[in-house]
Each structure stands twice: as structure tokens, then as C-alpha cells.
Amino acid sequence: MQRGPAIASAARIALPPIPYADLYFVIRPDGPARLPPYLGSTLRGGLAAALKRIACVVRRRQPCAQCDYAQACTYALLFETPRPRWAQRLPKMETAPHPMLIEPPLGRKGGLSEELIRFTVRLFGRAVSAAPFMIEAARRMAAAGIGRERRAFWLHEVRDGGADGPLMYDEHADTCTYSPTVRMVGAGAVEARPAPTLDSICIEFLTPTRLLQDGTLLSAPTLSAFVRAIVFRLKAVSYFHGNGEWEPDYEALDKAQQGIEVKANDCEWRQLERYSSRQRKVVPLDGFVGRWSLGGAEGLETLAPLFAAGEVLHVGKGTVFGLGWYRINPEIQS
């Protein structure tokens, strides 16, 4: 492995500031529990059901889009996310992007186990204020039971920002801190990252990633589809849940991509599906996972903020279930 020269001349892409907060949950089973290997859709479904019982004031079985309170409902904001009445941009989006996502536990084999379940719920924009509701929803979800067998769990603890963050909730304590630390996608989060001094990076797709190109689901990442997916995600989340409209420097994006080469593509297809009770059918969640190495110091320097933002936002379809989660490996892949 060789280091390239330090890069200081390339202009970085400027990003919109988007506030977000991370709630790190630990739940423990009340005895052996049988759960699927991938818990993103299971956790999303359990949290949604629990939060709806907490937040819904009309108690009628009707689509949230037809409810008079949808624009002010915490459940609708997080899990249905109606398009705001004020929205004029991005007209092709019938609903707004969900202002939340789940980062489920990785590397689980499924089957019967008594292991702790650790996962993160990330809230964006005004959804950060829904942290107390999300904590209570997690407690009720755990008590009601998770998985097909509805094995009861206990909400063991909640931490602010990650596994080593300040304790917000403890099952043995009488108090709970409901105000997580607000971080920023864009200015704060990205500028805090060290400037790259290496001439290549390795992007590891941790969960199935579903990128489209010309309406077709890709079996492996391409640079153009990857960059386009991050840009679209930034535009949508910034417009609906951040500080308003954002347009990138498309000329700089194109130039940067021309200076980047794919050095290795070790991605594979991962089959995954979930059952949608609303649609009453099995819905595919499969996508590619694996490692993808890119080279080209100046192009990578320009796009570093964009790639870092995608780590926080996830990319592609199904981000609310934890899909499209990747990490940037700082080690050079030569």
C-alpha cells in the first residue's frame, strides 16, 4: 500500500446542512428468540406499529393521506411522510422521503438466540424532536414481542450517537433524557472528517443496496449511478427535512467523476425480501453488497463530502429499512 501526495488544490463539493440525531438502542430477549438474519424490516414494522398506537388520535383504519391530522402527526411524519402542502419542487415525488432510517445489526445468522439486539435509528430535520416518541415506541415494541413468534424483549438502554455515547435511557433507572445531540450532514459532519491524503478508497456496502439506472435495478455499482443517488438523496432530504433547496455544482461533479477509476468491484447480489401487510404481498429488498475500490486522488478529494454524506443518509431504495448503508474504508486499496 502506498500513499499518494496530499491534495489541497481540488475544491470540495459544498453540501446543504441537514440536522440529524442518532438513537442507539439495545434490547434484550426475555428468553431464546427466533429472529431472521436481517432485522431492518422487522424493526421498522415493529416501531411503526408501536408508534401508531401512541400517536394516532383518530383511531380509524384509513390511509394517513386521507387523515386531516396527517401533516401534524408524528407517526405520519416518520413512517408515511406525506408530501407537505407547501412543497413545489420535486413534483415527481408523490410522498416525501422518510425523515428516518434504521441501521440494523450486521452479521447475524438468525435462528434461536438470546443475544442482545443493537440498532440505530437516525432522525432527520424536525423529526429529531420525535426522539421521545421513538424511545417509547421501542419500549412498547419490545414488550409486545418481535418476530413471528412474538418473543418479548426488554428495552435495555438507549444511547446518544452510538454505542459509546451518553446514556439516555436505562431499564433500571427512573429517568430518561429525551434530547439527543443534533449533528449536521453537510457543513459540520463532513468538514470534521480529515482531508484524504490517499489516492484511493474502498467503499463497503454493508446492507443490500438498490441503485437504479434508466429504471433498471443494477446488479453492481457504477460511479455515475452512485453519485446520482447521493445527489438525489441530498436534494430530497434537504428540501423536505433540511434547510431548503440545494443544487450541486454539476460541472464539478462531472469533472470529478472523469478523474476517478474503478480499481476493483467485489460486490455480490444478496437476496432479501419482506412481507408487506399493507400490500398483502412479498416485497423484494435484495441488492448488492461488498467492496468497491475507487482511485483518483483529485476526483476523490472533490467528491469526499458527497461520499461522506451518503454514509449518513444511505443511498438508493429502501433506506428506511436500513438498505443502502455503506462505509468508506480509509485504507488505500492498491
Taking only the tens place, the pLDDT of each residue in 283-306 is: 789 999 999 999 998 899 999 999
Q: Residue 3 has what pLDDT?
A: 38
Q: Residue 69 has what pLDDT?
A: 85
pLDDT at 65 > cutoff 50:
yes
pLDDT at 194 > cutoff 90:
no
From start to end of the chain, where are the E strands? 18-29, 33-35, 100-103, 111-113, 117-124, 153-160, 167-170, 183-185, 200-209, 212-213, 216-217, 261-270, 273-276, 281-284, 287-295, 326-329
Long-range contacts, 223-227 (Cβ 8 Å, 24+): 223/257, 223/260, 223/262, 223/294, 224/257, 226/315, 227/253, 227/257, 227/303, 227/306
CATH 2.40.37.10 fits 186-329, yes or no: no
CA–CA distance, 262 with 277 (Å, rounded to integer): 40
Q: What percent of the chain has pLDDT over 90?
A: 65
Half-sphere exposure of 47 (CA within 13 A, CB side): 33
Least confident of 134-143, 155-164, 253-262, 282-291: 282-291
| Residue 330 pLDDT level (bands cut at 50, 70, 90) | low
Q: Residue 99 has what pLDDT?
A: 97
In 3D space, the residue among 134, 121, 151 whose CA is nearest the CA of residue 54 turns out to be 134
DSSP H or E stretch at residue 311: helix 297-313
Q: What percent of the chain has pLDDT over 70?
A: 90
Q: Residue 331 has what pLDDT?
A: 54
| Annotated domain spans of the chain | 20-183, 186-329
Which residue in the block uniquely carries the three cell numbers 450486521? 106
Residue 314 near residue 280 (C-beta atoms within 8 A):
no
What end-to-end distance do the CA atoms of the chain give, in Å? Answer: 6
From start to end of 210-260, where are the E strands? 212-213, 216-217
* Grid cell for residue 263: 480499481
Q: Residue 317 has what pLDDT?
A: 95
Q: Residue 1 has what pLDDT?
A: 35
Least confident of 2-6, 101-105, 253-257: 2-6
Taking only the tens place, the pLDDT of each residue in 214-272 is: 989 999 999 999 999 999 999 999 999 998 889 999 999 999 999 999 999 999 999 98
pLDDT at 189 > cutoff 50:
no
CA–CA distance, 229 with 227 (Å, rounded to integer): 5
Determine the average pLDDT of the residues in 192-206: 73
| Residue 119 pLDDT level (bands cut at 50, 70, 90) | very high
* Mean of all residue pLDDT scores within the chain: 88
CA–CA distance, 276 with 166 (Å, rounded to integer): 35
Taking only the tens place, the pLDDT of each residue in 202-224 is: 999 999 999 999 989 999 999 99
Indicate the pTM of the whole model: 0.90
pLDDT at 8 > cutoff 90:
no
